[in-house]
Structure 1
Amino acid sequence: MTVVVVSDSSARLGDAAGRWGIREVPLHVLVDGADLRDGVDDVPHDVHDRPKVTTAGAAPAELAEHYRRALADSDGAGVLAVHLSAALSSTYSAAVTAAREFGSAVRVVNSRSAAMGTGFIAREAARCAAGGADLDAVADAARAARERTQVFLVVHRLDNLRRSGRIGTASSWLGTALSLKPLLKLDVDGRLVLDQRIRTVSKAHAALVDRVADMVGTKPADVVVHHVDNHDGADQLGAALTQRLPQLSSLSVEDMGPVLSVHVGGGAVGVAVQVCEVSPRTGP
């Protein structure tokens, strides 16, 4: 009997999902009238450049079906669901609705994060579950991991953010900014907010490295550098972080995925970082 952890496709877990037995619920990308499931259907590589593309969270019925299977596989130990920030997607509220069908056997945690920020939190919950912990302890592990996780983002253009409506309290400067390459972050409530106003990409990337370094200090940490059609920029950012923070326990470069890329646009780079609790962890 082992608690099963469920997340969603926006978490960008990759091989870590299989390694830790984390189930992923596909989110949706709506392209030219077609409803494409992230991670299941073929989504156009340039989806972030298409002005009429939208995204949708998982519906309660979809989530309930995934929870039902996970609960059966847990042999009654329970299910811990960790989803994309409630401030960015309807998936969390749909998950809460879906979980009611199962009573206390399914718990839902708002990651208040995105991309591998959500993935890191789900992974920590799955590690706890693999150690034989009960559902309460696994949920506590996810909430504790949330406090050690942060996501920063630099966008190269503002059009996608304007259309998305997910910029939160930073919206006041979107209408007048011209060449702004803002450094954004997810705040404690999981909202995308302005961290710094910066005019050039190079300075924005340097500021991002500084912010990650301030958060990590001398502690070990796991880092994933995400990008939207900007592998070179992400590689350079990863190299800068590795040089600045030689104690990192892992660093990888991964695409941001279609669901998030629709909202942040081409060229965007982001960093998900989780400070290790005690000692360095190996593997993503």
Structure 2
Amino acid sequence: MSVGIVTDSTAYLPKALVAQLAIEVVPLQVISNGTAFNEVDGITVEQVATALRAGKSVTTSRPNPDLFVAAYENLHANGADSIVSVHLSSELSGTYESAVLASRRVDFPVDVIDSRGIAMMMGFAVLAGARLAANGAAHADVVSLINRKCSGASITFYVDTLEFLERGGRINAIQARMGKAMDLKPLLHMINGKVEQRELVRTSEKALARMVEIVSAAARIKSEIAVHHVEAQAPAEAMATQLMMRTGVTNIEVSPAGAVVGTHVGPGSIAVVVSPQV
């Protein structure tokens, strides 16, 4: 039995690994000034940041279920007997719902998993599942591994302003207004699939230093760590260097977040994902 793996574009997987492991990636959309763009190859996070700074309207949209049907059928046509489809938190997007609807339209087994996360928080789980599937593992074993990776992962992120999260309805408006009124820098995390404020810090420098402390406490030598950013390459790389020194993890990839995440967190944001080895 061969197991195919599907995810969505907010996993932000390295393209080389997507090709190597034959992962199907279904894109979300970004709507900028009324025009819809495919997140994978239609718009960059830099273009989104420019639009946000200019005060333009930028929103995001779930994939049409037809795209999931096409992804499932493509893998099935290429030898997959069953599919595992892993997606960003259903608390943040209707993407999971679209995948579930699509799974009911095909005549082979599809398990749709709500990662309760985003970015490499689910990306590490997708890669682990794809590697296991490539080695001939049973469908149930692939599902089990992905679920364990997702449930054990964490994300901590810094945003320069809560404006964009509030605008997109991804954070409590009262929390956002408190942060702005007190001129504090927020550190956020995800709890049960929702973005929640973890703490408020006086300056961006102190916020980033606090992030290093939080992530170092959560990580182990055998953890996998990824750093994402939106137009914050230098501080993101500095954070990765500090984390390697503090945690003993020797390979931390630093990469831009995509256009969808960029739309909701805005320029200057940095996120760190920790995923356990299971």
How far is the alpha carbon of 1:171 from its aligned partner? 3.7
How far is the alpha carbon of 1:72 from its aligned partner? 2.0
Deviation readout 1:8-61 (Å, 9 max, x if unpaired): 111110122123221111110111222110112244723132530111111111
Percent identity of paired positions between Structure 1 and Structure 2: 31
* Structure 1 runs, 4 residues or longer, greater than 4 Å off: none
2:31 counterpart residue number:
30
> What does 1:220-239 align with in structure 2 at a 5 Å threshold?
220-239=222-241
1:281 counterpart residue number:
none
1:66 counterpart residue number:
71
Deviation readout 1:107-153 (Å, 9 max, x if unpaired): 10011111111111111111221121121211111101112211111
In the alignment, residue 190 of structure 1 is paired with which amino acid?
G
How far is the alpha carbon of 1:74 from its aligned partner? 3.1
> What does 1:14-29 align with in structure 2 at a 5 Å threshold?
14=14, 15-29=16-30
2:142 counterpart residue number:
138
2:188 counterpart residue number:
184
2:33–2:56 Cα contact (<8 Å) kept = no
- How many residue pairs match? The answer is 271
2:57 counterpart residue number:
52
How far is the alpha carbon of 1:249 from its aligned partner? 4.6
> What does 1:190-269 align with in structure 2 at a 5 Å threshold?
190-217=193-220, 219-246=221-248, 248-269=249-270
How far is the alpha carbon of 1:98 from its aligned partner? 0.9
2:271 counterpart residue number:
270
TM-score (norm 1): 0.90
User: Aligned equivalents of 1:74 and 1:33: distance in 2?
Assistant: 39
Matched position secondary structure for 2:106: helix
How far is the alpha carbon of 1:103 from its aligned partner? 5.5
Say what the alpha-carbon RMSD is for the aligned residues. 1.6
TM-score (norm 2): 0.92
2:162–2:186 Cα contact (<8 Å) kept = no
1:36–1:43 Cα contact (<8 Å) kept = no
Q: Where does the alignment leave 5 or more consecutive residues of structure 2 unmatched?
A: none
In the alignment, residue 10 of structure 2 is paired with which amino acid?
S
| Structure 1 range deviating more: 19-28 or 100-109 | 100-109
